[in-house]
Copies of this chain bind each other. A is one copy, B any other.
Amino acid sequence: MKQLTARGARTRQKLLEAAERIFAELGYHDASIVKITEAAGVGQGTFYLYFESKKQVFDELVLDLNTRVRHAMTEAADGGTTRAERELLGFGAFFRFTAEHPALYRIIRQAEFVSPESLQLHYERLTEGYVTGLRQAMDAGEIAEGDPEVLAWSLMGIGELVGMRWILWNGSTEMPEPVFDELARILVRALGAKDLDP
């Protein structure tokens, strides 16, 4: 792959977006190159000008979604003052992202077999963000002391299943308020935080 002109970059982007749509809709295996290129409105052969293989475009998608969801979460979290509030804002952003990009879940689940490295990378990058914030809050005495890594994975687990249950399965665009409120209470307790507000 050489230097891309504006046209080339546009075509590549069209393919990437089509791949996200098709993978999310049909899953990795039923998502054929033919279907992806059709959805992108280009010929079959064009795919291989920009990607080495079906797996490579998949890996790139995982990385892309990972970056985007983390960005959305940290950006939202920045608006909070206490750690608990920041975590809750992060959850809110995660749920919104899930609603807008169900591809995140659907692609990640597939990654278990399609690309275990990508799966691992995704989760590890997500925890990294958590761990530093949690450790600081522990040192500051804001939340309960303990191993921040275990706590981080626990929080991710909560987000993952609650998001699956009330966003993905409901096909809903937002988390029902009573569920989110209950989640806030559970979160504050799990963190061992005094309260949401300082």
Which positions 130-172 of chain A face chain B at CB distance < 8 Å?
144, 146-147, 150-151, 153-154, 156-162, 164-165, 169
- CB pair B186 A146 closer than 8 Å: yes
User: C-beta contact mask, A85-125 vs B, less than 8 Å → 1, else 0?
Assistant: 00000000000000000000110011011000000100100
Identical copies of this chain, number: 2
Q: Note all chain B residues with C-beta closer than 8 A to A106.
A: 112-113
Binds B, one of A5-13, A14-22, A47-55, A176-184: A176-184
Q: Note all chain B residues with C-beta closer than 8 A to A71.
A: none
Interface size bracket, A side: 35 or more
Q: Is A2 an interface residue (CB 8 A)?
A: no
- CB pair A146 B182 closer than 8 Å: yes
- CB pair A150 B182 closer than 8 Å: yes
Q: Is A27 an interface residue (CB 8 A)?
A: yes
Q: Is A68 an interface residue (CB 8 A)?
A: no
Bound state CA distance, A106 and B113, in angstroms?
8
Q: Is A192 an interface residue (CB 8 A)?
A: yes
Q: Note all chain B residues with C-beta closer than 8 A to A110.
A: 112-113
Instruction: With A112-B109, A146-B186, A179-B147 as known contacts, state yes or no: A160 contacts B162, CB within 8 Å.
Output: no
Q: A106-B112, A156-B161 are in contact. List 18 more A-B contacts (CB 8 A).
A: A106-B113, A110-B113, A123-B161, A123-B165, A144-B189, A146-B185, A146-B186, A147-B179, A150-B183, A153-B158, A153-B162, A153-B165, A154-B158, A154-B183, A157-B157, A157-B160, A158-B158, A189-B191
Residues on A lying within 8 angstroms of B by beta carbon are 26-30, 105-106, 109-110, 112-113, 120, 123, 144, 146-147, 150-151, 153-154, 156-162, 164-165, 169, 178-179, 182-183, 185-186, 189-192
